[in-house]
Amino acid sequence: MTHPTPDAAPRALLVSDVDSTFLTQEVIELIADHAGTREQVEAVTTRAMRGELDFAESLRERVATLAGLDASVLSRVREALVPTPGALELFARAREAGVLTALVSGGFHEAIDELAARAGVDHVLANRLETADGRLTGRVEGPVVDAATKERTLRELAERHGIPRSRTLAVGDGANDALMVQAAGVGIAFRAKPALAEVADVRIQEPDLMEVWPHLERLLG
């Protein structure tokens, strides 16, 4: 999902992970609640975010537990989403300041698109859940959005909009955000697992995403 951007060139780029960063929750765990597989999915999620498992393989393993679930539960998942404190304010303030905004997620378009549109996010990249006859198949459509995809998206957005890498900021919480965070002008680990915290420029432990704003403001000069 991409929204048209203003004629004026963006002053900077803000890219955020979604699950446990822009949102307080892990969306796949919310879906797994309805499938009765949350405990199993949580265990895999935890290991993946620590960098102990390949993210793409771990996502496919978790999505497989959702096979047969009625796709209508996704509307209830959307209703249950809780943005991280400060997330909507951060993105609103960024856009007011002429910053291009993006969410890049190992989660799912079906969950985040509606909220992202309300928040005025310019660009959203996430996975899509495959469905057949109104039910989840337990598979993901197309290539999985993994660490390399997140990094590539940051670079491509910056290049497309003429934004120097020094004016890019990326924020995430897990190991699959490490490449994106390292590629950004400022990389922020938000309440992060050690695998990300040790490679980030900035570590934020307060549960408020507006703590990112001073770092973004400095990029604007």
**Residue 171 clears pLDDT 80, i.e. is over it:** yes
Q: What percent of the chain has pLDDT over 90?
A: 90
Query: Chain-wide mean pLDDT for the chain?
Result: 95
Q: Which pLDDT score, from 0 to 100, does residue 49 have?
A: 84
Rounded average pLDDT over 195-207: 97
> How deeply is 177 buried, as exposed, middle or buried, from its count of CB atoms within 10 A (0-12, 13-18, 19+)?
buried
Q: Which pLDDT score, from 0 to 100, does residue 51 have?
A: 86
Q: What percent of the chain has pLDDT over 70?
A: 97
Whose CA is closest to 123, among 104, 95, 98?
Answer: 104
List, in order of start, the domains of the chain with CATH numbers. 12-220 (3.40.50.1000)
Provide the annotated active-site residues. 17, 19
pLDDT, tens only, 141-166? 999 999 999 999 999 999 999 999 99
Q: Which pLDDT score, from 0 to 100, does residue 5 have?
A: 46
Whose CA is closest to 215, among 189, 179, 196, 195?
Answer: 189
Sheet containing 168-172: order of strands: 135-141, 123-132, 99-108, 12-16, 168-172, 186-190, 202-204
**Residue 6 clears pLDDT 90, i.e. is over it:** no
pLDDT, tens only, 74-110? 999 999 999 999 999 999 999 999 999 999 999 999 9
